[in-house]
Structure 1
Amino acid sequence: MSKSRSKKIAEKTIFATFKILKENGGEMRGKDVVDRIRETTSFDDYEKHRFEKTGYIRWESILHFYTIDCMKAGYLRKQKGIWYLTEEGEKAIDLGAEKLLNSATKLYREWNTKRKAEDGIKTDLGDFTEEEAAQVQKSLINQYEEDAYNGIRNYIISKNPYEFQDLVGQLLTAMGYYISDIAQRGADGGIDLVAYTDPLGTKHPRIIVQVKHRPNDSVSSDEIQKLGGTLKRNSDVGIFVTSGTFSKPAKKEARESREHIELIDFERFVSLWQEYYTKMTDEQKSFLPLHPIYFLGE
């Protein structure tokens, strides 16, 4: 039996995804993976066709559709817009494009058969089979979620360092902290915000906050050490907030530091903003406005 065009597209895009992730240490933003595939892979007009209803490109939709197979097979993980290649996924690259996809699809079908047997799930979406319908829904939701997350990320990236510092201050206020000092332009001595748990700052701890707006960089261990050096009182707590990430040595430094240093990277910052969004005033929400949409879950 001849192979469908969709299957051929899936084979080359999934295989390209795995190789790109491996070349980049096993993790990348999903959007960056798709962009890299677009730059390095040739597509014909059929593959580049844009669907009128969703606005998505055919090859991108097929890629997202088959990443569900790879996730259920244990080859791939997704979280907050980041795609992670697992150890099993890295080994699967040796199978080649065709066998890799076949093995992922086989493992997905085994999982789905077991799930339906346990849950008694029924699905009816027109021309799709029951199995395909659930997978189409999941892949579309994944695309919507990633688009939404990338929209938030691009919005934050567009801010200057002082605007990002203001975002951090608004979040801490919504969380119930009281900001007593905000660094102005110029050298800040490693302190951007000072916060307390009460309005007058008479209760412990004093919270020293360092903010770095570097979306594409990782914070180093040296920078964590410098924050630790600003914690002069025994009860001081440090919080390091970045719009990027923390290096592994930086995380280790924070864990092993004598002082309590809390790390908030971009992913955690967005999660906290979402968590406390309903507690914010309209003015606070305007700094990073969100609109929640709910989909039917599995």
Structure 2
Amino acid sequence: MSKSQSKKIAEKTIYATFKILKEAGGEMRGKDVVDEIRKTITFDEYESYRYTKTGYIRWESILHFYTIDCMKAGFLRKQKGIWILTPEGENAIDLGAEKLLSTATKLYREWDGKRKAETVEGDIEEIEDFTKDDASQIQQSLISQYEDEASNGIRNFIIKKNPYEFQDLVAELLKVMGYFISDVAKRGADGGIDIIAYTDPLGTRQPRIIVQVKHRPNDSISSDEVQKLAGTLKRNSDVGIFVTSGTFSKPAIKEARNSREHIELIDFERLIALWQNYYSKLTDEQKNFLPLHPIYFLGE
């Protein structure tokens, strides 16, 4: 039996995905994975076709479809736009492109129990090799693409902010979380302190909260920078919060965890999660710092 075009596309893109993730240390933004695949694989006209209904590229839609197999097989995880290769997924690279995909698909089918759905029949017609039995998986892959797209849109909006705008966004979030802002650093040297906050309006109750804000979306915060924040905590009751629009290196996370002082780390993903959690409590003016529009999909 001849192999379908979709399966051929899936084999090479899924295999490339796993190798890219492994080389990146195990995790990467989904958008960056797709960009890397685009750099390393040449796609023909059929593979590069853009679907009229969804607006997505054929090979990208097929890739997302089969990442569902890989996730249910335990090879891959996705969290807020981040794709994570599991140890099982890294071992699966040794199977080669064809065997890797067939193993993931087999494990997914066992999990799925060949359920049938009728929610996205119109989209099935755009991916020629798929049938109504795949409807539920197509729905999941489309939602996955929408989630990645939403995460990328939010991240790009944040990236365009200057450091002071990002600092103000953090201050507004702390306000709506119930903290009282005593000081927000102005332009110039801040001595490692960007925001000072308290749990009461006059700052008479402990703790005093010292916040360091770094707007470096493409960088990881080092352990040395976490140590510097710890050095600004002069009172025994002081609490440090380090907020970044990027990520924290593993040594930085370890440093914060082992520090004598209480230091909370808030990376881009945690910041957005907090903003979403408190969004309904924001004023219209505060929402303008990062406006969101929630959309709900039918669940499984």
TM-score (norm 2): 0.95
Does residue 1:123 correspond to 2:125, yes or no? no
Rounded to whole Å, the distance in 2 between the matches of 1:247 and 1:55 is 36
Partners of 2:241 and 2:265 within 8 A in 1: yes
Q: 1:149 aligns with which of 148, 151, 154?
A: 151
> Structure 1 residue 100: deviation in Å?
0.6
8 Å CA contact 2:116–2:133 kept in 1: the answer is: no
**What is the alpha-carbon distance in structure 2 between the residues aligned to residue 48 and residue 123 of structure 1?**
28
- Alignment gaps of 5+ in structure 2: 125-129
- 1:79-119: per-residue Cα shift (whole Å, max 9, x none)? 01010111111111111111110000000000001xx7xxx
Partner of 2:111: 111
In 1, Cα distance between equivalents of 2:117 and 2:266:
41
Which amino acid is 1:42 matched to? T
Over residues 184-205 of structure 1, what are the superposed CA-to-partner deviations in whole Å (9 max), with x where a residue is unaligned? 1111000000001111111111
Could you tell me which residue of structure 2 aligns to residue 9 of structure 1?
A: 9
SS, match of residue 202 in structure 1? coil
In structure 1, distance between residues paired with 2:243 and 2:250:
15
- Structure 1: 5+ residue stretches without partners: none
Shift of 1:131: 3.3
**For residues 29-56 of structure 1, what are the alpha-carbon distances to aligned partners after superposition, in whole Å with 9 as ceiling and x for unaligned?**
0000000000110100000000011110
The residue correspondences of 1:93-112 to structure 2 (distance < 5 A) are 93-112=93-112
Equivalent residue letter for 2:137: Q
Q: Does 1:288 align with 2:290?
A: yes
Residue 52 of structure 1 is matched in structure 2 by: 52
User: Could you say what secondary structure the match of 1:17 adopts?
Assistant: helix
| Residue aligning to 2:80 | 80
| Counterpart position of 1:211 | 213
Q: TM-score by structure 1 length?
A: 0.96
**Identity across the alignment (%):** 79
What SS class does the counterpart of residue 50 from structure 2 fall into?
A: coil
Amino acid across the alignment from 2:20: I
Number of residue pairs the alignment of both structures matches: 292
SS where residue 278 of structure 2 aligns?
A: helix
In 2, the alpha carbon distance for the partners of 1:277 and 1:297 equals 22
Residue of structure 2 in register with 1:237 after alignment: 239
**Alpha-carbon distance between aligned partners in 1 of 2:116 and 2:140, rounded to the nearest angstrom:** 15
- The 8 Å contact of residues 112 and 131 in structure 1, kept in 2 or not, is answered as no
Per the alignment, in what secondary structure is the counterpart of residue 99 of structure 1?
helix
1:27 paired to 2:21: no
Residue pair 2:116, 2:135 contacting (<8 A) in 1 also: no
Contact 1:210 1:227 in 2 (8 A): yes
How far 1:122 sits from its partner (Å)?
4.9
Q: Say if 2:116 and 2:136, in contact at 8 Å, map to a contact too.
A: no
Structure 1 residue runs of 4 or more that deviate by more than 6 Å after TM superposition: none
Paired with 1:288 and 1:201, the residues of 2 have a C-alpha distance of: 28
- SS across alignment from 1:150: helix
Q: SS of 1:233's equivalent?
A: coil
How far, CA to CA, are the matches of 1:9 and 1:255 in structure 2? 43
1:195-210 counterparts in 2 under 5 A? 195-210=197-212
Give how far 1:129 is off. 4.2
- Alignment partners' CA distance in 2, 1:43 and 1:224: 44
1:66 is aligned to 66
Q: Which residue of 2 aligns with 1:221?
A: 223
RMSD over aligned CA atoms reads 1.1
The aligned runs of 1:269-284 (5 Å cut-off) are 269-284=271-286
